[in-house]
Amino acid sequence: MHKVLVFTATYNEAANIGPWIEGVAQAIPSADILIIDDSSPDHTANVITESARTYPQVRLHSRAGKQGLSSAHIYAMQYALDNGYDALVTMDADGSHQPAQIPAVLGALTDGLSTANFCIGTRTRGGSHQAALPRRVLSHGANITARVLLPMGISEYTTSFRAFDPIALRAVLAHDFSASGYAFFIECLEVMHRAGVIMTEVPIDFLDRFSGQSKIPKNQIYLSMLALTRLSFNRLKQRG
């Protein structure tokens, strides 16, 4: 890959974002880094601005108020296309995703053995999930349900550690999303599947967040199940 963009969205990640930026810069020094911060009360943006003095590849986009993950990811995808990047890597900055594993996720698009347009880091099939038990149970249950309702040859549906090439990005951006929040990540996969985007996965190690508390709202479990059911129904209806 000649031109790579690594993206994360932050909200109250002041304790985590500095080490994350350093880790990304070490893992893939030639990549640019885009961070969208939704006016974090803990002044995450100040930490990012200070880190940019050492790492000039960092671009900060600050938004007024908490506008959500799905809109942040859509912004990053459009930014990557508009600025001619060959690949976009998305991930969390809370310490759960390991920057050192970016080359593996990114390399699946250009390993010479496949023509994949998209890669997701999987916590099964050779990966690991080392977060707290409630988080492991939630993720395991969601992925099992997704594999049953929306089979598409991958084992992981919910993590945001992903790599897209321009073909995958254009497929996602052409869609009018009905899901928001964490359900967006599942709908994103279904959109690419329907568009014929070639998807693959590589093992990753998912750790517990380094600092702070999980930001998954309780209602996201319910909303994600609704989204899964709706997407499965739509797939069956299209086949009919």
Tell me the pLDDT tens digit for each residue of 101-131: 999 999 999 765 567 999 999 998 899 988 7
**27: domain range?**
4-239
> Distance between CA 89 and CA 192 in Å, rounded?
16
Query: Has residue 19 got a pLDDT over 90?
Result: yes
Tell me the pLDDT tens digit for each residue of 132-180: 777 778 787 888 888 888 999 999 998 999 999 999 999 999 998 876 6
> Which residue stretches of the chain are H helix?
14-27, 44-54, 69-82, 102-107, 133-149, 166-173, 183-195, 219-239
> Distance between CA 77 and CA 38 in Å, rounded?
17
> Distance between CA 74 and CA 94 in Å, rounded?
20
What CATH number is given to the structural domain containing 152?
Answer: 3.90.550.10
Which tokens in the block code for residue 153? 């040859």
Number of domain units in the chain: 1
Instruction: Please answer whether residues 3 and 28 qualify as being in contact, where contact means their C-beta atoms are separated by less than 8 angstroms.
Output: no
